[in-house]
Structure 1
Amino acid sequence: MPKYNRDIHHRRSIRLQHYDYAQTGVYFITLCTLNRECLFGKILAGEMHLNKLGTIVRDEWLQTPCLRPNIRLGEWVVMPNHFHGIVEINGQSKSRRGVLHTPSSDVYPIIKSPSQTLGAMVRGFKSAVTRRANIPVWQRNYWEHIIRNQDSHHDIATYITNNPAQWETDSLHR
C-alpha cells in the first residue's frame, strides 16, 4: 500500500462547509451497503421484507433515541441495499452510561459519544449494526440533506414511505 500523502490522498468533505451539524435541525440521510449489495432483504409486491441483517438495522435504528436523547426519528425505511431516514436533532445532551437491552435480548453497554453531531449519530448507528452483524456492512460515508421547510420535509417523507413500491425505478436498485 502506498504511503499516505496528504496532497494526493486528500478526501474532500461532502458536508456543507461551516455548518454546525450538532445544531437543532432536521436532516434526511441515506446510507448504502458495501458495494451496494442487497444485504437487508428483498422487495416483494412493493413491500420490504427484512432478513436477519435487515432486522438488525431496524432494531439499531429504533435504539437511536434511547442512546441519544437529543435525536428524534422521523420517517425511515430499510431497503435491500440502503437505508433512508429523517433525523431531528433537538439540541445538545449530556453524556450518560448505562445498559441497553435490544429486542434480540442482547445487552450492550451504553457509552454515549460526547459529540452529538449528525455524523457522530450515523457513525454510532453504522458501528452498532456492523458489530452485531459481525461482517462489513456499510460503504464509507453517507449522504445527507438539510431539510429547511415543511414542503421539503413532506416531499422527502413521502419519498421514504413510497421507496419500497418504487424499488424497480430506484437509482440504487441492482
Structure 2
Amino acid sequence: MALPDRKRNRMLGYDYSREGLYFVTSCVQGRACVFGHVAEEEMVLNKYGQIATQQWHWLAAQYPYLVLHAFVVMPNHVHGIIEIDQNLVVRTGRDLSAQLPVDETGTEKESSRTKVKSISELMGAYKATTSKQIRLAGLADFAWQRSFHDHIIRHERAYRHIEQYIQNNPALWKDDVFHHPLS
C-alpha cells in the first residue's frame, strides 16, 4: 500500500536562510493546551508558556542576524515573525583583523560572512531548547508537532495583516482552528 503524498512544507529551491521576513507557527503535539489559557481575550501564560516566550527571545540573543517582530504564545501553539538581516552580523576582533576575500568589484565575498541558519534550523533550535526547558520544569512528556508552518512575507500589506493576526490571536481564540483538534 502506497503512502499518500505529503504536502511539501517549504518552497522548492528557495533559500530559507536568505534575508527576509518569515511568519512561523508551531503547534504542541496533539494540540495539548499546556502554555496557559485565554481569559477575557488575553493570554495568561503559565510557567511553560513563559518558557516558550523566554526561548523565543533566546533566539535573537543567540543569533545576532535575527530581528524578532510580533509574537504570541497561545495555549497550544505559537505564532511569530522572524526577520533575517545579515547586516546585523557583528564580527569578532579576530574576524575584523583578518583580510576578508573580495570579488572583482571590491565587495566582500559571500563565503566570508557568518553562516546564517535557515528558518528550519532556527525553528529546530527554538523547539529543541523549549522542549528541554519545559521538560526540566516538570512536563516530562512535552513535545511539539512535527515540522512547523511558515510563510515568506513579501510585502508590507501582508506583513501588517500577519502582525495584526498575531496581536489579535488571543481575542480570536474561541474561533481559532488550533483550538479545535478535529477541524
State the TM-score bracket (shorter-chain normalisation). 0.7 to 0.9
Deviation at 1:71, TM superposition (A): 0.8
Runs of 5+ in structure 1 lacking a partner? 1-6, 97-113
Partner of 1:50: 45
Q: Per-residue displacement from partner, 1:96-136 (whole Å, max 9, x unpaired)?
A: 9xxxxxxxxxxxxxxxxx56111111000000011111133
> What's the C-alpha RMSD, in Å, of the aligned pairs?
2.3
Question: Which ranges of 4 or more aligned residues in structure 1 deviate by more than 6 Å?
Answer: none
* Matched-pair contact (CA < 8 Å) for 2:65–2:116: no
Structure 2 Cα separation of the partners of residues 165 and 9 of structure 1: 36
Partner of 1:68: 63
Structure 1 Cα separation of the partners of residues 8 and 85 of structure 2: 24
Q: Does 1:156 align with 2:159?
A: no
Structure 2 Cα separation of the partners of residues 17 and 55 of structure 1: 35
The count of aligned residue pairs is 152
Query: Which of 1 and 2 has greater Rg?
Result: 2
> Secondary structure at 2:51's aligned position in 1?
helix
Judging changes above 3 Å, is the alpha-carbon distance between structure 1 residues 121 and 84 closer, same or farther for their aligned structure 2 residues?
Answer: same
Partner of 1:127: 128
* Matched-pair contact (CA < 8 Å) for 1:31–1:82: yes
Deviation at 1:70, TM superposition (A): 1.0
* Matched-pair contact (CA < 8 Å) for 1:71–1:90: yes
Structure 2 Cα separation of the partners of residues 136 and 115 of structure 1: 29
Q: Per-residue displacement from partner, 1:60-109 (whole Å, max 9, x unpaired)?
A: 1011111011111000000000000000011285899xxxxxxxxxxxxx
TM-score (norm 1): 0.80
Letter in 2 for 1:131: K
Judging changes above 3 Å, is the alpha-carbon distance between structure 1 residues 138 and 95 closer, same or farther for their aligned structure 2 residues?
Answer: farther
Going by fraction, where is strand more abundant, 1 or 2? 1
Structure 1 Cα separation of the partners of residues 84 and 22 of structure 2: 8
TM-score (norm 2): 0.76
Partner of 1:39: 34
Letter in 1 for 2:74: M
Deviation at 1:12, TM superposition (A): 5.5
Runs of 5+ in structure 2 lacking a partner? 93-114, 136-140
